[in-house]
Amino acid sequence: MSKFCSLASGSSGNSVFVEHKGSKILIDCGFSGRKIENLLSQIGENPKDLDAIFLTHEHVDHVKGASVMSRRYDIPIYANKGTWLSFIKSAGKLKEENIKIFRSNSFLNFNSFDIFPISIHHDAKEPVGFILYLDNKKITVLTDTGIIDERILNEIKGSDVYYFEANHDLDALKRGPYTYPMKVRIMGKMGHLSNDQSAKSLADALQGKNEKIFLAHLSETNNSEELCKITVDNYLKSCGLDTSRDIKLEVAKRNEPSSIVEL
Ligand SMILES: [Zn+2]
Ligand SMILES: [Zn+2]
């Protein structure tokens, strides 16, 4: 059996919990150690039982508590070379055996997990999303990418769970308080996915086989749960996907765990 849960998600912090055959991992650890402990306890999990932390990229909303948790509970951290090169400067002292390196776009096996770290388009050193293969189930964890190209789309198709970025509403971003360079960065090919981009890529990937979608990494300033959900819901409906029958749609909350998916 497998379990999937967003511990919390937004532009100020992200962490995902996944369990498969008794092995437990976090993907990203973008909150303080104390907050991660608290979020885990809310879903009945103990940080002592974590087997690894996998990092998508070095931005603080993805790595903030990673090294603290590694030191406190002796947890290995897995990241690619580019992410380590940037992250190691701020990570503090880590046990050498807890520094694990994987290659992007190459399968890695960790306990019962088969994991494919896929290169994405974002202004970090070597950012990736993760595609998890758990027996006959497939989970996509994909945030912090400016675009979804054909290569990514083809890899993620057929997933049972999509944890998927829907960062901003484009009009809200354009009209909002951010500086012009920040707006350009977020809208750019190396920035973040808008609700519309997210909806379109999801519509291309979904098969209507009762997939679970978590819309994630919402901007606090340029998006809202309601707007995000309505935008994606409407678009999927316009493509003939019924969100009350063919798929399940949920917005991953900023400060609390999502529902737990059992696969
Ligand atoms: Zn980022
Ligand atoms: Zn981020």
Q: What is the pTM of this model?
A: 0.97
* pLDDT per residue as tens digits for the range 9-23: 998 999 999 999 999
Q: Which residues are within 5 Å of ligand 2 (an ion), measured at CB? A: 61, 144
Q: What is the pLDDT of residues 118-158, one digit of tens each?
A: 999 999 999 999 999 999 999 999 999 999 999 999 999 99
Distance between Cα 144 and ligand 2 center (Å): 5
pLDDT digits (tens, 9 = 90+) for 149-185: 999 999 999 999 999 999 999 999 999 999 999 999 9
Distance 8 CA to ligand 2 centre (A): 12
Cα(59) to centroid of ligand 1, in Å?
A: 5
Q: Does 243 score more than 90 pLDDT? A: no
CA–centroid distance, 245 to ligand 1, in Å, is 33
For ligand 1, an ion, list residues with CB under 5 A.
59, 144
Instruction: Quote the CA–CA distance of 116 and 140 in Å, as a whole number.
Output: 10
